[in-house]
Structure 1
Amino acid sequence: MTIREEQPLPGGMNPTGIVRVGNTVRRPAGPWTPAVHALLTHLHGVGFRAAPRPLGIDEQGREVLTYAPGEVIWRDGFGLLDPVARLARVGRLIREFHDAVADFVPPPDACWQVVVPAEGDEIIAHHDLAPWNLVAEGGDGAWTFIDWDTAAPGSRLWDVAYAAHGFVPLSADRDLRRADAEARLRVFVDAYGLGDEGERRELVGALGRRTRAMYDFLREQNRRGRRPWTDIWARGDGDIWRTDAEYIEGREAGWERALL
């Protein structure tokens, strides 16, 4: 393998060291990699194809995954999916993942990379279901969620709340804020299939808590001087998560009205 064969790839919030080599992706491995590979193997074994397939470890100690062709759904850091049929597709895809992972039994020695502590541990959640981690082929082609390295115990609602923030989106930014955010949230949640009124009420509260949890995490990591989070804080992401949390928390009545 030569350096010229490696193409740097974009990814999530911190895609350092992720490259494409042919039809594979190579990325830094960690103590969590065996558990993540077990998870991905399970998902493919039960028929869920919207995730990379693990191919082991290369000679440089990097994890090897299948490459997902297409483009990352992204717009100035947040995704806008129009028409709403595409937003509904995301909701259904997340539900398919949650159903597929429901009977996954982690290895006895599983080690997970926990970034933001979750509310609940009913499933192994993705924890970063966002536009920057969804690769879509053109037209009606395959959609693939990438960047599974922070998969860890969590809950369905915690994953859904985070995904709603990015995909609806629920944003205070003047360029991203949607007048139809309530209606889009309803489309997203209906497509996911969250039918129980009690769960929908829980989700309304979780929307703000999950967003604020990300702000709290970045603030604390910056205070401790931990990279790459200090760099992410310096570019203003902390302010984005804080203002989005305030926006979401201040509109809970509207979210509840839309969902119930």
Structure 2
Amino acid sequence: MTGEGEGEAADGEALVGGMANAGAVFRRGALVERPAPRNAYALHAYLRALKEHGFDAAPTPAGLTADGREQLTFIPGDVALPPFPRWVLTETALESVGSLLRRLHEASAAIAIDTRVEWPRDLADPEGGTMLCHNDVCPDNVVFRGGRAAALIDFDLAAPGRPLWDVAMTARYWVPMLHPASAAALYSAGLDAPVRLRILADSYGLSSRERAELPGAIEQATETCRAFVASRVADGDPVYLQALAERGGWERWDRMQAWLAAYRNTFTAALLN
């Protein structure tokens, strides 16, 4: 996750936010320069194909540098960083995220997946799929203009999956699908999770079958996210070690997963009724 808040750096404007590339992303004029993922060539081809299929709300690749960095067009706008401000948590903002994700999926579904590429498995749908999903549509990775989602950034974790998986991942961050005690650290108080989940489903345009499956997919996505964090912690990643300690440790994850299971019927009813 990279976000696009600006700071000062000797060799450009540092874009702050996110975790994986913190301190390594810079804006230089009309371009953003950041560490290139291992599958950069395939990912850049995908981003170009999105534009060819009518999705103009993602960065355009400009090339790779000799020292292993990628250059992408800078997308102007506002990116919310934690703790998230009220303007990014409005119902209008949430609806616009659902609509933008649907637009992405409609374009992505028309793009053949390069099966020769080793797409990242970190947050990928364990069931796989026939289209690339973003997998990390968190507030840090959505550019807003005029209070509405205008573009998606940071496709580093894109991988084959089901559209519903991407909706589930998005719901985790935007509803949010967190125990209220955990949500309070990053989100404003008073957010109604069942209502917001319905808003996201409506704005995306989920079918009745997909709505019935969404709560279970969110639980599955939460298990995947927990495994992702556990892997980073086991590797001694200082960023994830610090985040885990500051956000309540594994008890936070236990509480979150128990809450999701306890309210599964409530979420299902909100989606279907």
Which band: TM-score by shorter chain?
Answer: 0.7 to 0.9
1:216 corresponds in structure 2 to 227
1:224 CA displacement: 4.0
Q: 1:26 to 1:185 in 2, by over 3 A?
A: same
Q: Of residues 197, 202, 212 in structure 1, which corresponds to 2:213?
A: 202
Per the TM alignment, residue 46 of structure 1 is displaced from its structure 2 partner at its CA by 1.1
Structure 2 unmatched ranges of 5 or more: 1-8
**What percent identity do the matched residue pairs reach?**
34
Aligned partner of 1:10 in structure 2 is 16
What amino acid is aligned across from residue 14 of structure 1 in structure 2?
Answer: A
Matches within 5 A, 1:122-137: 122-137=130-145
Moved more, 218-227 or 44-53: 218-227
**Structure 2 counterpart of 1:12, one-letter code:** G
Match of 1:92 in 2: 99
- The one of 63, 76, 85 aligned to 1:56: 63
Separation in 1, partners of 2:174, 2:61: 26
* Uncovered stretches (5+) of structure 1, i.e. residues with no partner: none
Question: Does the CA contact (< 8 Å) of 1:116 and 1:214 recur in 2?
Answer: yes
Question: Which stretch shows the higher mean deviation, 21-30 or 228-237?
Answer: 228-237
SS in 1 for 2:10: helix
Quote how far apart the aligned CAs of 1:19 are.
Answer: 1.1
* Paired AA for residue 128 in structure 2: G
Residue aligned with 1:207, SS? helix
Who is 1:144 aligned against? 151
What per-residue deviation string (whole Å, max 9, x for no partner) do you get for residues 49-84 of structure 1? 111111111243310000111221234169874431
Cα deviation, 1:123-161, whole Å, max 9, x if unaligned, reads 111110111111112356x61111111111111111101
CA separation of 1:179/1:82 partners in 2, compared to 1, >3 Å: closer, same or farther? closer
Contact 2:63 2:71 in 1 (8 A): yes
TM-score by length of 2: 0.84
Q: Could you tell me how far 1:225 is from its partner in structure 2?
A: 3.1
- Aligned pairs for 1:126-205 within 5 A: 126-139=134-147, 143-174=150-181, 175=184, 176=187, 178=190, 180-195=192-207, 197-205=208-216
Amino acid of the structure 1 residue aligned with 2:73: T
Counterparts of 2:68 and 2:235 in 1: how far apart (Å)?
29
3-state SS, counterpart of residue 55 of structure 1: strand
Q: Distance in 2 between matches of 1:238 and 1:34?
A: 37
Corresponding residue for residue 5 of structure 2: none
Residues in 2 aligned to 1:147 and 1:248: alpha-carbon distance in whole angstroms: 27
Aligned mates of 1:190, 1:75 — CA distance in 2 = 26
CA distance in 1, matches of 2:265, 2:168: 16
Matched, 1:120 2:128: yes
Count of matched residue positions in the alignment of Structure 1 and Structure 2: 256
Residue identity in the other structure for 1:64:
Q
Shift of 1:30: 3.0
Say what the alpha-carbon RMSD is for the aligned residues. 2.4
Distance 1:172 1:164, change over 3 A: same
Cα distance in 2, alignment partners of residues 226 and 36 from structure 1? 25
Residue 124 of structure 2 contacts residue 157 of structure 2 at CA under 8 Å; is this kept in 1?
no
Q: Deviations over 1:188-238 (max 9, x none)?
A: 10110002x222111111112211221122123323435654444344375
Query: Could you tell me which residue of structure 2 aligns to residue 40 of structure 1?
Result: 47
Deviation at 1:115, TM superposition (A): 0.9
Q: Could you tell me which amino acid in structure 2 is paired with residue 198 of structure 1? A: R
Letter in 1 for 2:36: A
- TM-score, normalised via structure 1 length: 0.88
Counterpart secondary structure, 1:153: strand
Change (3 A) 1:238 1:250: same
Match of 1:245 among 241, 251, 257: 257
